[in-house]
Structure 1
Amino acid sequence: MRGQRWLRMLVNVYRLGCKELWSLARDLTMLVLIVYTFTASVYSAATAQPDTLHLAPIAIVDEDHSPLSARIASAFFPPQFTPPRMITSSAEDAGMDAGDYTFALNIPPNFQRDLLGGRAAVVQLNVDATRMSQAFTGNGYVQQIVSGEVREFLQRYRDTAVLPVDLAVRVRFNPTLTQAWFGALMQVVNNITMLSIILTGAALIREREHGTIEHLLVMPVTPAQIMLAKVWSMGLVVLVAAALSLLLIVHGALHVPIGGSVALFLAGAALHLFATTAMGIFLATLARSMPQFGMLLILVLLPLQMLSGGNTPRESMPVLVQNLMLAAPTTHFVELSQAILFRGAGPGVVWPQFLALLAIGAVLFVISLRRFRRTISQMA
């Protein structure tokens, strides 16, 4: 008898989930959102201008016309800088005012002669600080390039003492420091969270607005079965879309190597979806319409993504924020995603994050179910 009851419950959950999938298939707006989120959004996040220096326009005023100044000018090249524009000092201010270049390097007359004679020499660097990200990063790049070229040039004419320490830098997991590798994978991770909350919340609000939720109340189904159906159906859609995005966009179009097991990552994503879909239903019970749901989503989604460690390391955040974010599923999902996709970690490394997601998902599901039951009872 109990076995038949469980079987009937599973059949109800399955059929209600299929109903959700059919409703989603007829919603053109949501289908376009899903396709865009896991294709164009991922591709643009990876190929857009990164935070690192990329093709920054630079101009050089060479008033020395020496081998050293020519050597410095030839040291600026793509991908960090555009080929430098050689200009005169009279055109420097006008070019900076017009925004033609971000950096203007002025090499004064007798620069090489002063250096070889042991006299102080000054090089002027003008920076357009309105281009904040390029100005901040490129300022250090230009100083390093000029200092390095001057040092190597002087070593040909003077005996320069070699430092007793040699720093050997080895870059792991992303040896070419390609920004697209990080941007593409983290966009997929963030989109899984965003889309799962949107789809489940929109599914509940859509039924409330169309009046179909009242039809469910007269059927022999429980609120738990209705909620489980929305969780597994919308979670499945996001999981399949994420897998296809990793295969076709990240690995196929962007040629980003995936360090670990995709199956292990999808298993962690499934646990994460269990928590975020429940969160979406909870937000939908608080909102009375889609605009209200959108406002609540902004208030919840932005802190979840910005403070989870995906954009900046959690260690750089205040201790209070670090402790509070341990209760968020995105924190543990970002940790396991980076460990698996970037560093090739196995189950022995990420099992604490799996357990944390399971516990957080169970708590969120129980809280959302209680709120969902209360909302349905009020409607009845």
Structure 2
Amino acid sequence: MRLANIFDLGVKELRSLRRDPMMVLLIVYAFSVAIYTAATAMPETLNRATIAIVDEDRSTVSTRIVSAFYPPYFSEPELISQFEMDERMDSGIDTFAINIPPDFQRDLLAGRRPEVQLNVDATRVSQAFTGSGYIHTIILEEVQAFLERRRDASELPVEIVVRARFNPELNQSWFGAIMEIINNVTILTIVLTGAALIREREYGTVEHLLVMPVTPFEIMTAKVWSMGLVVLLACAFSLWFVVEGMLAVPIEGSVPLFLAGAAMHLFATTALGIFLATLARSMPQFGLLLILVMLPLQMLSGGMTPRESMPELVQTVMLAAPTTHFVMLAQSILYRGAGFDVVWPQFLWLAVIGAVLFGIALSRFRKTIEASS
């Protein structure tokens, strides 16, 4: 093995990537616009949901309820008549429509249980689910506040004080930005390395490499370091410029330590990308394989849902996936400020998984080259 060959072949990969404008555009988009969009448009977040209110009571408590809905969660409530409610819902103008019945305040003070009707446009699934809970809580809080000024409210025997650690504002954009970076690091690495190998096969440059004094190990190592370096630099840029700069997300831990963990993760995912490229004969086949591999890697890694909520068998199997340990490492460092003394098991796991994947991919790559020759 000659380090000069690995370096020169890696530079060749970088030049080939530079001549592929669509791939360059994909990298720029994935680590800029995609990060910002994922952070500011989280599907669970309620943002300026349209709401209309039919106030048939025109009382103090109904006025309090109307004034309790305001941006950024809801748009300014539109006061409408009962005859307009169904028409506006059918036209898709309102996501939520509340109907406060006549004599609502009088029945409330008399100890009766008056009903407030909430109509929801369930075709807007994410806002319908989240907004219904918000509206339910807001109405109950306003009614309770109204009654407490007129009745003796019984005090609860226990007071619960909530202290939210690592995200005191409970801002979902903080979580969305970091997780999008983690997901894009994985998918871009596999795409770049796999596409680099398939591109050489389609252009016929693999045959040129076979007549050169280079080994399959040198060819594969060059692809690993060059494509890994591109993704690592893009990740660092996105973390500093987009996440910390544009989104103002506070980073608790050491960014260099996170990038070191990302480099270990890239070692594993680049090898996985090359392995998938040796199985596929064309870019469409590679894309189909990528879908089959990336969906479980991302959905079962613990980034979307906690690993503790998954079946034990799934948790055990996913320990063999590099994304599981990268998610644990990234969240520990960036969210909780963990040091190397805390995340060293994840570093060790990534090194072992990367070495195994690299060995499997190298064996498959050698067989592919031998078949081509």
Report the TM-score, using the length of structure 2 for normalisation.
0.98
Which residue number corresponds to residue 218 of structure 1? Answer: 211
- Render the CA deviation track for 1:150-197: whole Å, top value 9, x for unaligned: 111111111111101111111121112222211111111111001100
Which residue number corresponds to residue 112 of structure 1? Answer: 105
Which residue number corresponds to residue 281 of structure 1? Answer: 274
Which residue number corresponds to residue 286 of structure 2? Answer: 293
Return the alpha-carbon distance in structure 2 between the equivalents of residues 15 and 216 of structure 1.
12
Please state how far the C-alpha of 1:306 moved relative to its aligned partner: 1.2
Please state how far the C-alpha of 1:91 moved relative to its aligned partner: 0.8
Return the alpha-carbon distance in structure 1 between the equivalents of residues 255 and 336 of structure 2.
12
Task: Give the one of 359, 362, 367 matched to 1:374.
Answer: 367
Tell me, which stretches of 5 or more residues in structure 1 are unaligned? 1-5
1:93-242 matched pairs, under 5 angstroms: 93-242=86-235
Matched residues, percent identical? 67
Q: What one-letter code is carried by the residue in structure 1 that aligns with 2:102?
A: P
Return the alpha-carbon distance in structure 1 between the equivalents of residues 5 and 27 of structure 2.
26
- Render the CA deviation track for 1:117-157: whole Å, top value 9, x for unaligned: 22231211111212111111111111111111111111111
1:245 aligns with 2:238: yes
Return the alpha-carbon distance in structure 1 between the equivalents of residues 210 and 113 of structure 2.
85
Which residue number corresponds to residue 329 of structure 1? Answer: 322
CA contact (8 A) 1:308 1:314 kept: yes
Which residue number corresponds to residue 301 of structure 2? Answer: 308
CA contact (8 A) 2:42 2:172 kept: no
Return the alpha-carbon distance in structure 1 between the equivalents of residues 112 and 237 of structure 2.
63
Which residue number corresponds to residue 66 of structure 1? Answer: 59
Which residue number corresponds to residue 56 of structure 1? Answer: 49
- Render the CA deviation track for 1:355-376: whole Å, top value 9, x for unaligned: 1100000000000000001111
Return the alpha-carbon distance in structure 2 between the equivalents of residues 165 and 226 of structure 1.
66
Which residue number corresponds to residue 84 of structure 2? Answer: 91
Return the alpha-carbon distance in structure 2 between the equivalents of residues 37 and 207 of structure 1.
24
Q: Secondary structure at the match of 1:274?
A: helix
Return the alpha-carbon distance in structure 2 between the equivalents of residues 66 and 175 of structure 1.
37
Q: Give 4+ residue runs of structure 1 displaced > 4 Å after superposition.
A: none
Return the alpha-carbon distance in structure 1 between the equivalents of residues 142 and 3 of structure 2.
71
Return the alpha-carbon distance in structure 2 between the equivalents of residues 118 and 45 of structure 1.
47
CA contact (8 A) 1:50 1:179 kept: no
Please state how far the C-alpha of 1:267 moved relative to its aligned partner: 0.3
1:78 aligns with 2:78: no
Which residue number corresponds to residue 358 of structure 1? Answer: 351
Please state how far the C-alpha of 1:303 moved relative to its aligned partner: 1.3
Q: Secondary structure at the match of 1:220?
A: coil
CA contact (8 A) 1:17 1:232 kept: yes
Q: Output the aligned Cα RMSD.
A: 1.1
Return the alpha-carbon distance in structure 1 between the equivalents of residues 41 and 264 of structure 2.
31
Question: How many residues are matched?
Answer: 373
1:339 aligns with 2:294: no
CA contact (8 A) 2:42 2:173 kept: no
Report the TM-score, using the length of structure 1 for normalisation.
0.96
Q: What one-letter code is carried by the residue in structure 1 that aligns with 2:90?
A: D
Which residue number corresponds to residue 3 of structure 1? Answer: none
Please state how far the C-alpha of 1:50 moved relative to its aligned partner: 3.3
Tell me, which stretches of 5 or more residues in structure 2 are unaligned? none
